[in-house]
Structure 1
Amino acid sequence: MKTTGGSDAEKRAAGESAAEAVEDGTVVGLGTGSTAAHAIRAIGRKVDSGLDVRGIPTSFQSRELAKEAAIPLTSLDEANAVHLAIDGADQFSGPHLVKGGGAAHAREKIVDAAANRLLVVADPSKAAGQLDHPIPVEVLPDARTTVVDDVRALGGSPSLRTAERKDGPVVTDNGNLVLDCDFGEIANPAELADDLSGLPGAVEHGLFVGMADEVHVGTDDGVDVKRF
């Protein structure tokens, strides 16, 4: 379930602001989504100007965009380190995030967690005093029914994400399904994250607890950078 809100100018400002942190010799995780796409394009312009960087894409979408931007690509297996990752968010509250609107959160979490620094790019509509966005949970197809029951037992309301412009559910790059799980206001993100991680058949969830080092929020007046 992709979130809406925020102007393209706000998203571009946030993405280009985070891209300024990419220095010569950097290995950078390339996030997924409309705001992260602006960062990827900005990095591509820096590469075109002679900057030596390598990117690790987090989805088919970010890989294709990086290729269009002529960013040399690598992988976690090949890179000695991931110096920083730039990624979007469906919602943020301090350093805590909800991600997965593009159904790429499993790969995003792997790359973002491996990075020395995670820079989140967002527009003001993604800010929240307390997280309350439905949590995407990627599940093995055979485990959909049992994970639905387990999420309900945790107090959540799960729904299978359906695809747009095709019949049937969304299928992730990993070949799995996505449940969007509404828990209302999340008083303890860390506790819920642990509970969701322990569900048999759940591949990964979209709670990124305490992972953001910076959030670049594009506004009409520029960019508000929050550091944690």
Structure 2
Amino acid sequence: MVNQKKIAGEKACEWVEYGMVVGLGTGSTVYYTIEKLGELVQQGLKITGVATSEQTARQAEKLGIPLKSLNDVVEIDITIDGADEVTGAFQGIKGGGGALLREKMVAEASRLNIWVVGEEKLVDSLGNFPLPLEVIPFGWKQIKRSLEKEGIQATLRTQQNKEIYQTNNGNYILDIVNQTFTNPIKWQEKLAQVPGIVEQGLFLNYVDIIICGKADGEIELIKK
């Protein structure tokens, strides 16, 4: 059986060149990108990584990939990341792994953004996957109530042990469920008006190239 994530993740390494500053995303598909980059570094490729999560940083350090913080680079040449959903119009939802704020900051600083996905992540419209909102713990219940007054259903993300999930930034995540985002730009503007929402998982027009691994072993490249 073809590992769609692996073939997509490894394919993205072809865009990485010697001396580049590379944004390293978070998730189960970009995991394979980072593993491959680790192999290439051992073979002599010189890059500097900027990790979007503590999880990614640990993986990269274990593989010998040199890292810098976002504060220590002026610009990122290329960022490779995954997505929870993406449309043919280059609109996506990210944040299933809880790293949406850092992922968006790194994407914003990048000259080129590549997303690696399996074909099940390609959708006609956004919303089948819950939309994550990173929120300040102080008053998160007020944020939830504010959304519910607007008819928006949001659930507090918890861990398997039922404890509240916390991001690497010490914040909570509310996941908007049972909602279709047919006009994501309007939703982005709407959510930006809610005090206490630090960032939301709509990534609109960030991605330049989508690399999609398919069940038959083929790789589809979707470019702007």
TM > 0.5 between the two? yes
What's the TM-score, normalizing by structure 1?
0.93
Unaligned runs of 5+ residues in structure 1 are: 1-6
Residue 82 of structure 1 corresponds to: 76
Inter-CA distance 154–112: structure 2 relative to 1 (3 Å threshold)? farther
The CA distance in 2 between the partners of 1:180 and 1:16, in whole Å, is: 30
Residue 93 of structure 2 corresponds to: 98
How far apart are residue 81 of structure 1 and its match?
1.5
Listed as ranges, the matches of 1:14-33 within 5 Å are 14-33=8-27
Aligned residues: CA RMSD:
1.3
What's the TM-score, normalizing by structure 2?
0.94
Deviating more after overlay: 98-107 vs 214-223: 214-223
Listed as ranges, the matches of 1:1-228 within 5 Å are 9-94=3-88, 95-132=90-127, 133-164=129-160, 166-182=161-177, 184-219=179-214, 220-228=216-224
> Is the 2:132–2:175 Cα contact (8 Å) retained in structure 1?
yes
How many residue pairs end up in the alignment?
221
> Is the 1:151–1:181 Cα contact (8 Å) retained in structure 2?
no
How far apart are residue 71 of structure 1 and its match?
0.5
Unaligned runs of 5+ residues in structure 2 are: none
How far apart are residue 200 of structure 1 and its match?
0.4
Deviating more after overlay: 24-33 vs 140-149: 140-149
Deviating more after overlay: 79-88 vs 152-161: 152-161
CA-to-aligned-CA distance 1:30-62 (integer Å, 9 cap, x gap): 000110110011111111111110000000110
The percent of aligned pairs where both chains have the same amino acid is 36
